[in-house]
Chain A
Amino acid sequence: MSFEILTYAFMHRALIAGTAIAILCSVMGLFLVLRRYSLFGDALAHSSFGGIALGLFAGIYPLWTAYGVSIISALLITKIKEKYNISGDASIAVLLSSGIAVGLVIISFSGGFSLDIFSFLFGSILLVSVDDTVAIVALTGVILMIILLLYRQILYSTFNERQAKVSGVQVDKINYLIIILAGVTVVTAVQLVGVLLISALFVIPNVTAIMYGRGFKQTMFISMTIAVSSVIAGILISYVFDITPAGTIVLFAIGVLAVTMGIKSAGLLSKN
């Protein structure tokens, strides 16, 4: 293996965009996992697939329609859950299949699968443009800034809604905010690993980090480190062996999880 690959501009863009997405997904994912919303990212990704198909069909930049559809679906799922008293997992299943169904119907209207659709399904980080990279980095910055500003409220309402409410945290608003931010994050991350593997980025680094971390900030930092290393290693390994980056990234993260589980079973980690 030579270091030549590190001199390519597309590789720079892939690594920068990939790192930003990894950080964003691990931070958002930690809140989602602790709120028992692990599959929420998956549902939003599938619904954004409908949005992407809509964009391609209408000739609009597909990520914009995906953002719209993803945010609307996120709000819808929350409303449906509240209003009709449908359990969280069932409402996620409804959203997940609706997105794909809408996407498939729109695609068949537009004359079948195109290459674009495949790149959204499986990710296309090596094809990411300069504009995309700038947009990804900027969005990551904005979302992280919002989380930082409202850190205590978000953490408190994730820890215990009831107590947060009593302390005057506007829990309902925070919940909606988290959901909207998750919607934006998912669509941003689609470019890295594609619709099908999104929840891996949300969940796997965090499940791993929770086994190591004592405190919340420490866990977040460990999760970011795992996510970023998986993305960088995945992109480089996949390039060298000419395999899919999305799959390689996720397999790398799963490898870290498996090793962690091994260490934990051997009793080398504290009981929690």
Chain B
Amino acid sequence: MLNAVDISNLTVKYPDVTALDDVSFAIKQGDFLGIIGPNGAGKSTLFDSMLGLNTNYAGTIKFFDEDIKKSKTYHKEIGYVPQKPEFENNFPATVSEVVRMGLRKKSDDKKVDEILQQLWIHELRNRRIGELSGGQLQRVFIAKALVNDPKILILDEPSTGVDQQSIDLFFSILKELNSKQGITIIWSSHDLDAVNKLANHVACLNRTLFFHGKSETFFSDDKLVKQYSEASMQEHMHHH
């Protein structure tokens, strides 16, 4: 089967630090991959490279066998949900206007309505974006990412600063998207338990690829989990 994503020998060097060192892994269509790693492990750099925001890398990144440096259409396959939906707090746009921004086709009211309903934000569609709670905003941004029927959904640590009820809803939405609609999900997270519960594959990143494989393998290996936790902890203490 065709790989949804194929990353080989990805290396990103900044003047003072190597952010990613020879990272290679592949993601099959329909996989739910959790990417974990301490702060500064290169997760953002990896995402920026996959999303076309950073082109200054060695190695190749392919979506459905197409090199993203050569393809102009690969954006169509990807939906992206940012870590924090950053916008001017008083930006005058309604929920449905924000979702529509993502819409590539001229206008597809039915599709927008469908997505809004699927994500439990249909009743918010005429509300101004700045009035929403963190959890509601998160679902608006997932809706925006999904409105073009992407094959791959990339989510950047989106569960921070959101209440528990919204987090649970968010997880169930992800699960449904992956299992019922077959959307490949790449999700960067700090929450090991959540990754354990949701993702069927894990990539553990700390500038190099520390582990990539089935979640069961990772989470049943206490040594691996411990090593990861220690790396995280060291990084955590380093940051404070």
Contact = CB atoms under 8 A, between A and B. Distances in A.
Real complex partners, A and B?
yes
A163 B80 contact: yes
Interface string A152-170: 1001100110111111100
A272 B130 contact: yes
Interface stretch (B15-23, B33-41, B82-90, B109-117): B82-90
Contacts of A215: 92-94, 96-97, 126, 128
Contact of B86 (A160, A165, A218, A219): A160
A168 B103 contact: no
Nearest to A164: B101
Interface string B70-91: 0000011010101001111111
Contact of B92 (A152, A164, A213, A271): A213
A79 interface: no
A166 B78 contact: yes
A196 interface: no
Contacts, number: 75
A152 B128 contact: no
- Bin chain B's interface residue count: 20 to 34
B91 A159 contact: yes
B92 A218 contact: yes
A214 B128 contact: yes
B201 interface: no
A210 B98 CA distance: 16
B98 A159 contact: yes
Given A160-B86, A214-B92, A152 B75 contact: no
Contacts of B128: 214-215, 270, 272
A217 B128 CA distance: 12
A61 interface: no
B94 A214 contact: yes
A209 B91 CA distance: 11
Given A159-B87, A166-B51, A168-B76, A152 B94 contact: no
Contacts of B144: 163
A34 interface: yes
A163 B94 contact: no
Interface string A202-228: 000000011001111111000000000
A209 B93 CA distance: 12
B52 A165 contact: yes
B104 A167 contact: yes
A156 B104 CA distance: 11
B53 interface: yes
A218 B103 CA distance: 20
A270 B131 contact: yes
B100 interface: yes
Given A159-B91, A271-B131, A168 B75 contact: yes
B90 to A, nearest CB: 6
Interface in A234-272: 270-272
B88 A34 contact: yes
A166 B52 contact: yes
B122 interface: no
Contacts of B213: none
Interface in B5-60: 51-53
A37 to B, nearest CB: 12
Contacts of A156: 101-102
Contacts of B103: 152
B53 A162 contact: yes
Contacts of A34: 88, 91-92
B127 interface: yes
A67 B86 CA distance: 35
Contacts of A167: 75, 80, 101-102, 104
Contacts of A168: 75-76, 104
B115 to A, nearest CB: 15
A34 B87 CA distance: 10
Given A215-B97, A215-B126, A160 B90 contact: no
A156 B96 CA distance: 13
Nearest to A155: B101
Contacts of B85: 160
Given A215-B128, A272-B128, 10 more contacts: A155-B97, A156-B101, A159-B91, A166-B53, A168-B75, A168-B76, A214-B126, A214-B127, A272-B90, A272-B131
16 contacts: A34-B92, A152-B103, A155-B93, A159-B87, A159-B93, A159-B101, A160-B82, A160-B85, A165-B51, A166-B53, A166-B78, A210-B90, A210-B92, A215-B97, A216-B92, A216-B93
7 nearest CB pairs, A to B = A168-B75, A219-B92, A215-B94, A156-B101, A213-B92, A166-B80, A216-B93
Interface of A: 34, 152, 155-156, 159-160, 162-168, 209-210, 213-219, 270-272
